[in-house]
Amino acid sequence: MPLQLTMCRLCARSRPDFLRAVAQLVASYPGEIDVVELECMAACDDVPAIMVDTSYYPQVVPQELIRLVQESLHVGTS
């Protein structure tokens, strides 16, 4: 089952660097990541916020997003 990344469509689109990181991850791990864009996550104060499967992360910068996904996929961890 693919790792699910859930984010607010409008809030994420306001952060091009964040969207580039999402696109990079999807391209790097084909078939392993499922991106779900909601109309609203009610997390306006935490933009960009993301859920990795069922875990919520507020104010995620692109480097942190990449780390979270790689850890969740157990890539590059001992």
Quick one: average pLDDT of 52-73? 95
Model pTM score = 0.87
CA nearest neighbour of 22 among 39, 3, 44, 46: 3
Domains of the chain, start order: 3-72 (3.40.30.10)
Query: How far is Cα 24 from Cα 32, in angstroms, rounded to an integer?
Result: 13
Quick one: average pLDDT of 22-29? 96
Mean model confidence pLDDT for the chain: 91
Confidence of residue 54 (pLDDT cuts 50, 70, 90): very high
